[in-house]
Chains A and B, each alone.
Chain A
């Protein structure tokens, strides 16, 4: 496990953004120092996540990503130290269900998962869309319009499952960047992915060659904690999260991964 106290995006941030984040960090640290959220700060929380760039991924700097930045700052504001670990989703869900002081992120808060965890939400709000190539001249207004086309999706993801459940012809791959390449090579007609992922994965490519047809889904991504986690801790994290939306910290973090 990689222990992280404070995590930043030094390499990717513009100067203004760095200054903004610095100010927010000072606010959050001072708030963490003065607030007593009613639990011991000596406990380290284990935060599990998947390899899903740009939300969380391994890099030469350790584990980073938009989701990692959000929860790092969130726990920092609550005065709790954390350790991150990347593992496959199924294993992470199982581990978080079984172990104390363990949480998983950024996952969808579904009806089926509701009873298994205590929730802090939304740590991220993302949108899923269908992308085509500009030269294809497709005109997609509803999901029904995509029924005659071959769609590339990230296997096992909520987006993939959603399209499958609408009986669309969606072909899975195990790395979303492959869908972008397949789209450009005309091996698929449409690429189903979330807008932040598309923006991030196409950063170094000719993104002008693709076109967003429709946004068909908004996803609420959450932090799901083991049922044994003290409710006061969960309530405190939830309150800090809302504060992060209100003071602009969330926008600043997401902005770093857009363009």
Chain B
């Protein structure tokens, strides 16, 4: 306002002095300012409309919401009329952003947002295409924090800590409250700098039919067969017993064929995630130490200081070690023996929603991103009162697992800004990114997509009221231990896009029977070493890979920790947990 009055005084002065060019300039500027002022007023009106219609629940007061929206309107002034393009994976949370939040942001700020949703694999390819061909395809990406090891090494991604403190300071939301994000540690480099901003978060947990597990007749029958209580399995032995029980002993419930296991086995990139998303860690192949295991991580890669030095046992890794081989053997055995026949032809998406059909008793490897899809009223796994017949619980652990190791996988889909995006586009895009995680909209988004990112949302009364309908999701996220023991692919994977493709290409050879489990993992480990070697030759920096010389495998297997030698008893007695024990794990 102060500047506006100065401008009017200046114009009157020019007119009085009959300075024609100055007068014309002033009138034009005043006209522009008036129009812009009109736009801003319209933006405020739109903001109030959105607060009344969509963002009616929030962890901040309505006054605070209004102030947050006013900040967005002011900060967006220089970018009004600009187009911003972003892309993300196609899950419920991002569909909500693309269809509702993008529209709200556009109307409130005057910045047009085109939020495209596609496959996660496609997002990664587009991100790397933008880097490779050095063309700005998108202003921001939402990509998995699994890529953090790649991002901090490549230096193609903006360091957000620097951006917030420097060139993006004027467009950084004062109420962003980074400390409120539960997954912030997953998107930091070893330098402590923030490379991505969390947008949604999900974990991989155990899924089971709580109604069947609590049926007296089934519990009695299970105890008769196996000598212990039917319950959430603590180890893989119990998981296997329960799988056998439902597939071969129970066989039918209410006249329908049921199965004790569900999984997927189609040869496509999602088969890789089935393993790279911490299956080896759950088996116990890596080392103790959070977030990923050190010195050997959940991919079986050994890292010294921050340098990856090898994946094969011969170089000190564990990718083709006894624990990894055991984990692949069990995956294939269970898929063939206990899952429905078509499971081998399915991918990640198909298998995630399959339990909703009502014929699956348990699934050891299940993404919570499917919670919204499996809590829809009318499904065979939902009671008439809307509560689920199923629950999620900590995944059982393999015979090589030891206390202090990561328990499973959790990932953050996070806003990622490339350095080759023009600054003005970066700034306009950054405003939209922050809008989608702002406290004004975050709780509503969390309830729609069930992929929480903020402590304040998770601890809200709204979530407490919803908890009985969410089958254990809220209990998981309220657990401080769960937030640190379930972790993403960490800093030890130096080029996720290049190395991750090796998983499915080799695992599929074992699934199809072309190679034995050991042969497939030997091949995978050799190719992983080769990949690390290539990265070592083509990159520099203190955290670039540097391969160990090959040794006899026995040398490494005799050392303490990972790689671990074959256990004499890979199937110890099955153990299940009581409800009390389950609660203790979350605590």
Contact = CB atoms under 8 A, between A and B. Distances in A.
B114 A214 contact: yes
A67 to B, nearest CB: 16
B132 A242 contact: yes
A112 B138 CA distance: 23
B429 to A, nearest CB: 15
A218 interface: yes
Nearest to B101: A142
B103 interface: yes
Interface in A210-231: 214-218, 220
Contacts of A144: 99-100, 103
Contacts of B504: 115
A109 interface: yes
Nearest to A251: B135
A145 B112 CA distance: 13
A111 B269 contact: yes
Given A114-B268, A115-B267, A215-B114, A246 B126 contact: no
A141 interface: yes
Contacts of A112: 268
Contact of B103 (A121, A122, A145): A145
A197 B504 CA distance: 36
Main secondary structure of the interface of B (DSSP, over half): helix
A19 interface: no
How big is chain A's contact interface, by range? Answer: 20 to 34
B451 interface: no
A122 B129 contact: yes
Contact of B122 (A111, A115, A142): A111
A22 interface: no
Given A111-B122, A142-B102, A142-B115, A218 B269 contact: no
A143 B135 CA distance: 25
A115 B268 contact: yes
How big is chain B's contact interface, by range? Answer: 20 to 34
A142 B103 contact: yes
A144 B54 CA distance: 16
A125 B119 CA distance: 17
A217 B115 CA distance: 9
B214 interface: no
Contact of B87 (A122, A142, A218): A218
Interface string B98-134: 1110110011000010111011011001100100111
A228 to B, nearest CB: 15
B121 A114 contact: yes
Interface in B420-465: none
Nearest to A147: B99
Contacts of B121: 111, 114
Contacts of B133: 122, 125, 242, 245-246
A61 interface: no
Contacts of A245: 132-135
B99 A109 contact: no
A143 B125 contact: no
A246 B132 CA distance: 10
A137 interface: no
Q: Which of A141, A216, A220 has the largest count of B CB atoms less than 10 A from its CB?
A: A141
A220 B128 CA distance: 11
A236 to B, nearest CB: 15
Q: Which of A115, A141, A142, A245 has the largest count of B CB atoms less than 10 A from its CB?
A: A142
Given A115-B267, A217-B116, A142 B98 contact: yes
By Cβ-Cβ distance, the 10 closest A-B pairs, closest first, are A144-B99, A245-B133, A111-B121, A142-B103, A111-B119, A115-B267, A141-B106, A142-B102, A141-B103, A122-B129
11 contacts: A114-B121, A114-B269, A121-B125, A125-B133, A141-B103, A144-B99, A215-B114, A216-B114, A245-B132, A245-B135, A246-B133
